[in-house]
Amino acid sequence: MVKNSLVVVIDNNAKVQLRKAYEFIKEDSPQNAEKVKQKIYHSIKALLKNPLRHPPDKYRSNNDGSYRAYELYKYRISYHISAQEIRVIRIGHTKMNPTLY
């Protein structure tokens, strides 16, 4: 059996964005903040099983299909797939104005 050689990497920028989201939610509910954080991490780890399960990122200009995105708990997670890794590049609230990149 061939073992999956992909790894998941979360960019520092995405880590900061998730930390800010956690702190914002924590102001009202520490339990929900932890729940959202854990679910997002779990969903990112699940990308290893099927990195193509989410649609191409519609906010990525000149996207060849390797940039993908999905939403979870009103947070949009954007990631890039290469031969060696799945790199999470953004984690932002869906109410924020999306920018092309």
**Model pLDDT for residues 16-70, shown as the tens digit of each residue:** 999 999 999 999 999 999 999 999 999 999 999 999 999 999 989 899 999 999 9
β-strand partners of 86: 8, 81
For residue 33, which of 63, 88, 73, 89 has the smallest C-alpha distance? 73
CA nearest to 16, candidates 99, 77, 91: 91
pLDDT band, very low/low/confident/very high, at 99 (cuts 50, 70, 90): low
Q: At the topology level of CATH, where does 7-93 sit? A: YaeB-like fold (3.30.2310)
Better-predicted residue by pLDDT, 99 or 89: 89
For the chain, the structural domain boundaries read 7-93
Residue 76 banded pLDDT, cuts 50, 70, 90: very high
The rounded percent of the chain whose pLDDT value lies above 70 is 91
Residue 1 has what pLDDT? 37
Give the Cα separation of 34 and 57 in Å (integer): 27
DSSP 4: P
The vertex-29 CA angle with 28 and 32, nearest 5°, equals 135
**94, pLDDT greater than 60:** yes
Which pLDDT does position 2 carry in this prediction? 41
